[in-house]
Structures are given as C-alpha cells and as structure tokens.
Amino acid sequence: MINSLGNLFLYLPILFTFFFYLRSSKLNESQTILAARVIYICSLIPFLLLLIAFATSNFQTLNVLQNSYINDPFIFKVTSAWGSHEGSILLWVFLINLYGLTFSFFHKKNLLNKQLIFISQIFIIYILISSNPFIEVNMDGNTEGLGLNPILQNLLFVIHPPILFLGYLGLIIPFVISSFILTTKQHDEPLFQQMLIWSKISWFFLTVGIVLGSYWAYSELGWGGWWFWDPVENVSLIPWLLNTALVHSLQVSIKNNQLKLWSLNLALYGFIAAVFGTFLVRSNLIVSVHSFATDPLRGLFLIIIIGYLLITTIRMNLKSISLFNKDTFQFISKESFLLINNIFFICAALTVFIGTVYPLFSEMIFQTPVSVGAPYYNFTFNILLAPIIILMAFAPQIKWHNHHSQNQIKLLIIFLTGFVASLISYFIFYNLFFSISVFITAPLFMQSVVVLFAKFKKDFRFYAQWLAHLSIGIFIIAAVSTEQFDTEENLLFKKDSNNELPLNSGGYAYIENIQNIEKLNHVQILLDMKIVEENKTYSLSPSKNIYQPSGQITNEVSVVNNFFSQYYATISQIESDLVSINLVYKPFINLLWMSALMLILGIFGSIIRKI
Amino acid sequence: MKMLKSIYKKIFIIISLLFISSALAENSELTDFYKSIRCLVCDGQNILDSDTEFSVNLKEQIKKKFDSGLSLQEINNELISIYGEEISFKPSDSHFLLWASPFLLLLLIFFLIRKKYF
Amino acid sequence: MDECINAYFRNIWIYYQKNMKKTILVPLLGFVILVICIFYYLNPPTEKKSYQKKIADEIFNTQTFFKTKTIDEKELGEFYIVNFFASWCKPCLAEHPLLMAMKDQGIKIIGINFRDDEENFLSWITENGNPFEYVIRDDGTIAYKMGLIGVPETYFISNNEIINKIQGPLFYEDVEKYL
C-alpha cells in the first residue's frame, strides 16, 4: 500500500508540473503561486511516506528491508530512512520542496518558482528512473530486515545528513535568484538582499552539518581524527568555501552595487558544487568511508543534471558580461579587500576540487592510480588561506570606497609582535608549523582585543562578525596544536601480569573490569579503565559492540576531558588473555570544538541581527 | 592604485615565505610518516589509524627499516616501488601540475582581472 | 509570462547572430567533454598492474616447516605458485579445497603462513590438510617484499618472475589456464 502511494506521489508532481508549464501563461499571479505550492506539497509527501514505512517496519518496501532491523531502537528505525542512497535522495527532494514552499511565501515572482520546480522535478525523475525506494518485496523471505549499518547508529548520524542537506539545498535559492537576475537583467537591491539572507541560512546549515560530521567522525571512527581530506568531506567543503565567499561578496554588491558578477557566479557555482558533491558520493568513483554502494548508472544521470546546470550558467554569463562590468573601486578599501577574499576563496575551492578529482584523472590519463591526501592539502590549502587570515584581522576595520588613514606604525607593531610571539613559541615547542600558525593568527587576536576598546557604534551585527572571525583564529591554533602535539600509545594488558601500565606522560593506567552486556540489537563488551596522572584519576570506558543480524563489530570510543584537552581510548584487541588499548592524548581538541561553536553562533547572530 | 599594488606585493611575499618554510619543514617523525602512507585495504585511512593486518605489518616493516638506518625518503621510494604510487598520500613531484595548480590558478585569476581592477 | 519567455529567446537569437562562434563553440565543447567523461565513466580502466615482478629471495633462504631444508629453486621447476594464507583468515579456508585439487594435479604450491600463531597454524594444517609442497612461516617481511595486500593472495611464478597475482580467494577460473 505504501509503495503504491509513494509511487503515486512521485508521479503526481511531475504531472502537475507539466500542466503548470503548459498553462502558466494563462494564470494570474495568485493562481501561479497556488499551483506552485500544490506541486511543492505533493513532492513533500513521498519522503513522509517513507518515514512512515520505516517507523512501522514495513518490510514490504525494499528500502526498509535493506536498511532496517526489527529490533533496532525506534529512533534509528525512523532515521534509517536516510541511511541509504535512495532514502537520502528522497530526503534531498523533500528538502528542495520545503525550501521552495517557504520561498513561495517570500517571493511571488513566477520565473523564480518555475526554475526551482524544474530542478526539483529533475531529481524526482532521477528517483523514478534509478533510485526508487518504493519497490514491492514479496513477504516470503526475511521479515526482520537486514539492519542498519552500526556505524550509523549514533545520535549524531540522526541529524548530520538532514542538516548538511539543508545547507546544500539552501544554495538553490541563491541559484534561482541569480539566474533570474542574469536572465531578466533586473538587478535591484532587494533581490540581492534576499539572496544574502538565504545564503546565510544555507551557510549556517552547512557549517553545522560539517562540524557535526567532523565530530561524528572523531567520536565514532576511533582514530582521533576530525578531518581526513576524505573525498566526501572535501565535497562538502567546496560549497562551504563558495558560500563563505558569496556571503562576503554580497555585502559589497548590496552596499555599493559592485562585485555583482562575482556574487552572482558564486551563487550559481555554489549550488552546482553542492550537486556535484552529491554526484561524487553516489557514483562509485570514489573510495571513502562515506560511499554508498551504487551502480554507475545513478552517477550518470547526476552528471547530466550537473551538465545542464553548468551549461545554463555559462550561457547566462556569456550573455551578461557586458551588463555588469561597473566595478569602480581602485583604492585600499573594503571592496578591494573583499575582492581579494573572493579570489582566494575561489582558489581554495578549486584546489580542494582538483585534489579530490586528480586521482580519477591520473588513473584515466596516466594509468597510474595516485592518492591525494593530507600532505597535499596541508601544503596547498593551508598556504592559500594563510594570507586571508592575516587580512581578516584588518578587513572589518577598513572603510568603504577609500581607506585613507594608513597607520603604518601600528601595522608594523602588530606584525613585529606577531613575529616575536611566533619566535617565542618556537623556542618553547620547537615546532615550525605551530609557530607559523601563531604568526598568522597573532594580528587577528591583537586586532580583536584592540577593536573592543575602539570608539564606534558596535551593534549586534558587529559582535556576530567579531565572534565569527575570532573563532577562525582560535580554530587554527587549536587545530595545529591538536595535530602537532598529540601523543598516541598502545597499552598491552596481560591477564596474569601486573595490571598497572606506565604511561609516557608519567602516570599509569589500569583496567578495573570488563563486562559483557546484552543490548537491544547488539552485545557490548565494556571495558572500564582508569588513568592516574599527577594525583588525578580519569575514567575511560571503551567498548566493542557485536551487532545483530550482521555480526558486524564496531569499536566504541571513550573520551575524558582534561580542561581543553582530551584522553581518547579505543580497544584495539581483546583476547582471552590480553587486552590492547589505544590511548591518544589530544591537546586543545575541546578548544577546536568550542571555536566551531563560536563560528556557528556568529553566523546565527548575523542572520538574526536585530534583537 | 599604488597602495593596492603594495598590498598585493606583500601578499605575494607572505605566500612565498610560507611556501618555502613549509617545504623546508619536513616532519621527520616516524608517526607523522605513517600518516602519509595509505592503508590499501581500508576506505582511505592511513596506516597509523588503521588496525588491519596490512597496516600493522607495514608499520612494523617500516619501523625495522627506519631503525636500521634508512631515511624516510628511501623507505617511501621502496614502498612506492613495491605497492605503486597510490600507497603514498603525498603525490610524487612528477605530478607537477597537481602541486603547482593552486598557485598557478591564483596567478591566472590575478592576470585575467588585472586590466579591470589594477 | 509569455512575453518574458519570448524576450528571453529573442535575446538569445540576437546574441547568437552577433556571436555565432561563441554560441556554438561553447556548447559543442561542453558536449564533447561530456561525451568523453561519460565514455570513461562507463568504461573505467580495469587493468590492475602487478608492480612487483621479482620474488622475495627470503623464500629460498627460510627453513621450511615440515621438510627440514630450505627450498631449492631448481626443484620447483619452471612454473609454481606462491600462496599466502593464515589460520585466522576465513576466505583462505574457502579456497583450500581448490589448492588441494591443484596439488593432486601436480602443481607445486609454496605456502606462506602470514603473521600467524604457530599452534593455530599447525592445527589448521592438520585439520584441513596440507596442499603445499613447502611451507614457510612469515612475520610479514616476505609479504611486504612481494607487495601483499591481504590474505589470501596467490602469485603465479614462471621462470622466477611473477606473471600474475590474484588478490582474495582463488576460483577455478583463475587457475584453469595453468592446469
């Protein structure tokens, strides 16, 4: 029943859209909006039906059978809806239409809604052709379900994909506004203002989504890493970078009508990057922890969608270049700083793109597979962004149009202090990377303090921006510390020998006890461990979980806090006569998460703005 | 105009300094070297993070060679000759285009827009 | 609405007439690139190169397990097989019958026990049978030199050069040309 309903509501919107296009010229504005909203609401229904199917463990639906287990906890049953390729594309469609519906309350312009509907219907066609979750299964086989991948059975997983998708798909509205502006040549300020608000919304969700994904990887995957330059992480980073550039560039476009073509293109390519990201994850081209198991045909259709978007973008650009070339700033000004900002962010996005795609390119052209990982990105990406971090210290204080006051001495003092600080840090820690990061972020920290005492009107918006920029500086220091100064050791506890093992840091560790606990859909081997250091005792309880029905074994991480740092333990081996624990010490990792929170707060504050 | 040019010059100097210092600051720690070697039976992890027999064996073998005096670069070359280029997360310098592309792109963009903005 | 669309297409037509080259070339180029991408996407290169061509010398220097001597190259003949296995490896058990069949056909297999516990290894051999002409125990050094990815892995040697390498459990199709 649910299958037929689901399929019905997949075909219905396409039918409605067809008629909508046929008769759109004969409808007045309120009728058009009504028709658009009907299509949006119709397209929302299939995903809700899938949720119901999962909630009721309706194993007659193939997707539910493949991704859910009768004894999974209820919350995970429901959220398995987006645990597979089909389900997540359906969520994709749901969110596009949710955005469309919300958007239709702010914008009655036909052309905008029509393009949004068109894009969303393309994805529904995609689902119908190759990724339909509503396939009927005969009830003669498995009535318990094949289970959700245990790695995904985590609260963070519950919210990470929807939030990330909200971020990706939020870019569709800047996309349609941008193409509207380019095709109808109406570049009035209210449109850019609208684009800014929607860009900030997608920026917010993208940031939260990426941070959640990173935290999930840190707490679930057991290696203490929070960013792996994994292809799937990279494809979420690219839209984020373009979105950041967009939000900054739009300030110029709104305030002074400059950098308009830059803003419009950033909006267009931002959405294309988001769709491309989806394509890469599902296309089987990339090996990653995140990949869905799919067949190449699904990726093919997505290439076609991306091709359409790209060709549209290029055509619109070719038509409009002459119309928007009116940028007139030439002095040191906020406009020129933001122009530099645009350039560097675009380069950074392109770098991440090149690094992600190069292995495929190398395999095709040179016939040698090559791996592009952290060493490459640490060299290129980090160096590219370094000048921006330095400029970020000064940019908010630069005036529009023409920044006359050039206090050279003040600049010199700031840079000298930064240089001295980085020298001192080198003699303390003997780490060149840390010292470089001190040099880069020192101007930012100093300016952040100085500007708090400066006499000018500081509104809510100012503090949101101040917080966001400062958080980046803190993030860099935390990230470099945690990567450069972390320590890892393997503790081998033997059954019959003395159970207190010495740690490199000077303390010691011992195991209190080991328990076997039966849970709803898995058996948990829980290990209670204590670390004693400088008269303080820390408790850790890593575990191994054995899941039904697959028999899959996962490692659960245990962390304990030590102010801004963390101890991080996983069981690497457990036998009848020995236990081997991997103990990692991550300095300042909590500072890293704190800075991420600060950034999110800052972005949120810039959306709210008026309190 | 002149002011803007001086800013761009300063940016260029900063980037060049960072480039040089980064290239010189090769991390000589063994554990950091492990981070640059790929586990070929995993989903993109490095051998430090992986617990598979492949990774553990590789870590032991590399440590043996390192303790016997081989330099990290020599060990890296040996690994590549046995397992192929994909074992290293740091593409070799023969992939010059890959390494240079970000900076070339930067120069390209500045070059393309110079008439309009500078 | 209609006028909007008409104006849109009229603009494109005017633009087209003024800039025929650009309007044709860009979509054409885009189409060609798209076709190339799709072609490569649907026909990915599947040739996996075998990087290591030489066998590890240690095979001939290590004491074998059940026969009290080291392996003599000359005794092996022109063609033989090297198989990595371990008692903790399930697919190794799956391919074991095929290995026994190959031994019956007279193919010489050198078994290399990869990073295993001696007791487990011995009981594995005793329980399942020994398809190997010679067995060596390896702590990982030989595997490393040969470029082992994981057990089970089988190398086909001809004239002391590796001519083929099969990752994973052996199937009949992999071996039939050598029988």
Of A607-611, C18-22, C157-161, C172-176, the least confident? C18-22
pLDDT band at A316 (very low <50, low <70, confident <90, very high): confident
Of A97-101, A590-594, B18-22, C158-162, the least confident? B18-22
Beta strands at C109-114 and C134-138: parallel, antiparallel or unpaired: parallel
Neighbours of A517 (CB within 10 A): 11
Give tens-digit pLDDT for A317-347.
877 776 666 667 666 788 888 988 999 999 9
pLDDT of residue C1: 60
Q: How far apart are CA A40 and CA A36, in angstroms?
A: 6
pLDDT of residue A133: 82
pLDDT band at A510 (very low <50, low <70, confident <90, very high): confident
Residues of B in Cβ contact (< 8 Å) with C51: 81-84
Q: Is there a contact between A497 and A480 (Cβ–Cβ < 8 Å)?
A: no
Give tens-digit pLDDT for A529-569.
888 888 888 888 888 888 877 777 778 888 888 888 888 88
Which residues of chain A approach chain C closer than 8 Å at the C-beta?
24-25, 27, 32, 110-111, 183-184, 283, 285, 296, 299-300, 303, 307, 310-311, 314-315, 318-319, 363-364, 367
Of A229-238, A299-308, B3-12, C63-72, the least confident? B3-12
Which residues of chain C approach chain B closer than 8 Å at the C-beta?
49, 51-52, 114-115, 139-141, 143-151
Considering only CA atoms, which of A355, C57, A370, C45 is closest in space to residue B84? A370
- Give me the sheet containing A558-562, strands edge to edge: A487-494, A578-586, A565-574, A558-562
Please give the angle made by the CA atoms of A389, A393 and A396, to the nearest 5 degrees: 120
Report chain A's mean pLDDT, rounded to a whole number: 84
**Residue C14 falls in which region: left (phi positive, over 0), alpha (psi -120 to 50) or beta:** alpha
Residues of A in Cβ contact (< 8 Å) with B19: 383
**pTM for this predicted structure:** 0.87
CB contact under 8 A, C150 and B54: yes
CB contact under 8 A, C30 and A24: no
CB contact under 8 A, B1 and A386: no
Residues of C in Cβ contact (< 8 Å) with B60: 139-140
CB contact under 8 A, C114 and B53: yes
Q: Which of C144, C145, C165 to mutate to test the interface with B (most CBs of B within 10 A)?
A: C144
Nearest Cβ partner for C140 among B52, B57, B83: B57
Tokens found for residue A403? 């920044």
CB contact under 8 A, A111 and C4: yes
Alpha helices in A430-457 (DSSP H): 432-453
CA distances from C38 to C41, C43, C146 (A): 5, 8, 36
Q: Which of B38, B51, B61, B62 to mutate to test the interface with C (most CBs of C within 10 A)?
A: B61
Tokens found for residue A361? 């390119």
Of A255-259, A491-495, C45-49, the least confident? C45-49
Beta strands at C161-167 and C79-85: parallel, antiparallel or unpaired: unpaired
Residues of C in Cβ contact (< 8 Å) with A315: 12, 26-27
Nearest Cβ partner for A572 among B15, B23, B51: B51
pLDDT of residue A420: 92
Give tens-digit pLDDT for C137-161.
888 888 998 889 988 999 988 887 8
Beta strands at A558-562 and A553-556: parallel, antiparallel or unpaired: unpaired
CB contact under 8 A, B25 and A370: no
CB contact under 8 A, A318 and C37: no
pLDDT of residue B5: 62
Is B12 part of any domain? Answer: no
Of A91-95, A432-436, A502-506, C77-81, the least confident? A502-506
Residues of A in Cβ contact (< 8 Å) with C44: 363-364
Q: Residue C31 pLDDT > 90, yes or no?
A: no
Q: Residue A286 pLDDT > 70, yes or no?
A: no
Considering only CA atoms, which of A280, A416, A434 is closest in space to residue A359? A280
Distance from CA of C146 to the nearest CA of B (A): 7
CB contact under 8 A, A350 and B45: no
Residues of B in Cβ contact (< 8 Å) with A351: 101-102, 105
CATH at B37: 1.10.8.640
Task: State the first-to-last Cα distance of chain A, in angstroms, to the nearest integer.
Answer: 49
pLDDT band at A159 (very low <50, low <70, confident <90, very high): confident
Tell me which of A88 and C23 has the higher pLDDT.
A88
From B61, which residue of chain C is nearest by alpha-carbon distance?
Answer: C141
pLDDT of residue A610: 55
Of A77-81, A484-488, C14-18, the least confident? C14-18
Q: Residue A147 pLDDT > 80, yes or no?
A: no
Q: Is there a contact between C168 and C151 (Cβ–Cβ < 8 Å)?
A: no
Give tens-digit pLDDT for A568-587.
888 887 877 788 888 888 88
pLDDT band at B1 (very low <50, low <70, confident <90, very high): very low
Total count of domains within chain B: 1
Is B33 part of any domain? Answer: yes
Q: How far apart are CA A24 and CA B52, in angstroms?
A: 60
Mean pLDDT of the A35-55 span: 89
CB contact under 8 A, B85 and A369: yes
Q: How far apart are CA A105 and CA C150, in angstroms?
A: 58
Distance from CA of A380 to the nearest CA of B (A): 7
Q: Is B66 on the interface with C (CB under 8 A)?
A: no
DSSP structure class, residue C177: G
Is B4 part of any domain? Answer: no
Report which listed range, A241-250, A303-312, A559-568, C75-84, is most confident. Answer: A241-250
Q: Residue A372 pLDDT > 80, yes or no?
A: yes
pLDDT of residue C62: 78
Q: How far apart are CA A269 and CA A267, in angstroms?
A: 6
Give tens-digit pLDDT for C100-129.
888 888 888 889 999 888 888 889 988 888
What domain range is B41 assigned to?
28-112
Residues of C in Cβ contact (< 8 Å) with A109: none
Percent of chain A beyond pLDDT 90?
27
ipTM over 0.95: no
CB contact under 8 A, B87 and A371: yes
Q: Is there a contact between C64 and C75 (Cβ–Cβ < 8 Å)?
A: no
Nearest Cβ partner for A289 among B23, B36, B43: B43
DSSP for A352-412, written as a single string: HHHHHHHHHHHHHHTS------HHHHHHHHHHHHHHHHHHHHHGGGSPSS------HHHHH
CA distances from C54 to B31, C147, C163 (A): 30, 10, 10
Q: How far apart are CA C18 and CA C24, in angstroms?
A: 12
Of A446-450, A451-455, C43-47, C167-171, the least confident? C43-47
Q: Residue A262 pLDDT > 70, yes or no?
A: yes
Q: What amino acid is encoded at A330 in this protein?
A: Q
Residues of A in Cβ contact (< 8 Å) with C12: 315, 319
From C44, which residue of chain A is nearest by alpha-carbon distance?
Answer: A364
Percent of chain A beyond pLDDT 70?
91
Residues of C in Cβ contact (< 8 Å) with A184: 4
pLDDT band at B62 (very low <50, low <70, confident <90, very high): very high
Chains in contact with C via at least 3 Cβ–Cβ pairs below 8 Å: A, B
Tokens found for residue A122? 């393309």
Chains in contact with A via at least 3 Cβ–Cβ pairs below 8 Å: B, C
CB contact under 8 A, C37 and A111: no
DSSP structure class, residue C56: P
Give tens-digit pLDDT for A432-461.
889 989 999 999 999 999 888 887 777 888
Q: Residue A184 pLDDT > 60, yes or no?
A: yes
Nearest Cβ partner for C45 among A111, A318, A367: A367
